[in-house]
Structure 1
Amino acid sequence: MTRAFDLIAFDWDGTLIDSTALISSSLQRAAADVELPVPSQEDAQHVIGLGLMQALAWLFPQQSEARYQALLGRYRYHFLTRDSEITLFAGVTELLPALRAQGYKLAVATGKARQGLDRALAQTGLQAYFDATRCADETASKPDPQMLLELMDELEVAPQRVLMIGDTTHDLQLAANAGAAAVAVSCGAHPLEQLQREPHLAMLPDVSALPEWLACYP
């Protein structure tokens, strides 16, 4: 089989797992808990995909370190009390082994912290399908290209052979900054009109449509 790509890197939240609503509501509840202005749903969803501290700094600029730590604690409380309720998007459990069987290397490039991603991988049973993962607390946050460049280096794949799949403009900018291609999915945090303004090869409703697109590309 002739493939245009050797490595497919997935974002996690809003791309593989349907967590957008919980993340945004947890950010809003955290703000209320520490008596800061509650961000709109649009703003809370905009920061999904960034590292958590970067997200808090964007939503609540110029706070003290103590206030950021309080926000972080309340966010984690609200998220962790319900994260076991989050479900994978339809088709994910079939998609990943099928891609591995076709010879693709698979990776995760996420704004989650390492502890959070490892917990999510264990809960979903998806650990075995990924050759490598990178999180925002162990490298630069999106859209800095560092996490994707590190994955390329670890898995020995050139940028032109890498495809990033994500639901936010941060994911698409990450790919562009790393010299890789990207496919957007419209099932997650950022609205379609924002995604369309960033470089991408295709816009899919969700990741279950990826195999058919790959079969027809280029």
Structure 2
Amino acid sequence: MPAKRYELIVFDWDGTLLDSAGAIVRAIQAASGDLGLPVPEDARARHVIGLGLDDALHYAVPELTKNRYPEMVARYRHHYLSRDQELVLFDGVASTIAYLAEQGWLLAVATGKSRVGLDRALVHSGLGAYFHATRCADECFSKPHPAMLQELMSELSVAPEQTLMIGDTTHDLQMAQNAGVDGLAVSFGAHDVDALASVPSVALLATPAELDQWLRQNA
């Protein structure tokens, strides 16, 4: 195996490891309907995936007033959590993560999920034991602010030039830019190729299989 280019590989969760983008969109739309608010179109709801929940709702449902945020959050979580046990990892993701861990990379997660939500997902997916550190949107600033990556690099004592951020949204890539780390885009999640291509990245990959191959050859 060639020498490692990176020491730390950070993954987004929803839309990058877990095939959950569609479920998030449907939960936002259903919650909006429950509150009698205009239901956002798929593209608008999909755009906010990866953001912290408050930021996501502010963009996806601009008609939502601040005093109704708790109600909206409760309805979103009701709809999402009622089906989240049915969500699955993208094909091949589990073996990719296992390989990276076995070969000695430090692995982390930076996600727009809450801590409760990520911990639940890590247990359900069986991937929890592979990750050395994780950060969630309710613990620090939401993407694209660099705080998640900065805290992960500090905790694991890894420099920015030795860190790679992998995600399916422009929010992930912009966070990587803001933290001074390389970003790698995958287009099988929330944001389309054109959106992802608008932000610099070391690669833009179309399938989990391409991601696995790229990491084995280039990371």
- The reply to whether TM is greater than 0.5 is yes
Matched, 1:101 2:99: no
Partner of 2:11: 10
Residue pair 1:10, 1:164 contacting (<8 A) in 2 also: yes
1:133 is aligned with what amino acid?
Answer: T
Q: What letter is aligned with 2:7?
A: D
Match of residue 162 from structure 1: 163
Residues 195-206 of structure 1 correspond to what in structure 2 (within 5 A)? Answer: 195-206=196-207
CA distance in 2, matches of 1:25, 1:101: 36
Letter in 1 for 2:134: T
- Give me the whole-angstrom Cα distance separating, in 1, the residues matched to 2:32 and 2:63: 14
Per the TM alignment, residue 141 of structure 1 is displaced from its structure 2 partner at its CA by: 0.2
Query: How far off its partner does 1:182 sit?
Result: 1.0
Residue 37 of structure 2 corresponds to residue 36 of structure 1: yes
Structure 2, unaligned runs of 5 or more: none
**Where do residues 1-218 of structure 1 align in structure 2 (5 Å cutoff)?**
1-61=2-62, 63-217=64-218
1:60, 1:141 → 2: CA distance? Answer: 18
Q: What's the offset of the Cα at 1:103? A: 1.3
Shift of 1:215: 4.1
- Report the CA distance between 1:174 and its aligned residue: 0.6
Q: Residue 89 of structure 2 aligns to a residue in which SS?
A: coil
Asked whether the equivalents of residues 37 and 63 of structure 2 are also in contact (C-alpha less than 8 Å), the reply is no
Identity percentage over the alignment?
53
Q: Match of 1:108, SS?
A: strand
User: C-alpha deviations, 1:56-76, integer Å up to 9, x for none?
Assistant: 111233643331111111101
Matched positions, count: 218
CA contact (8 A) 1:15 1:206 kept: no
For 2:128 and 2:212, the matched residues in 1 are separated by: 20
* Structure 1 vs Structure 2 CA RMSD: 1.3
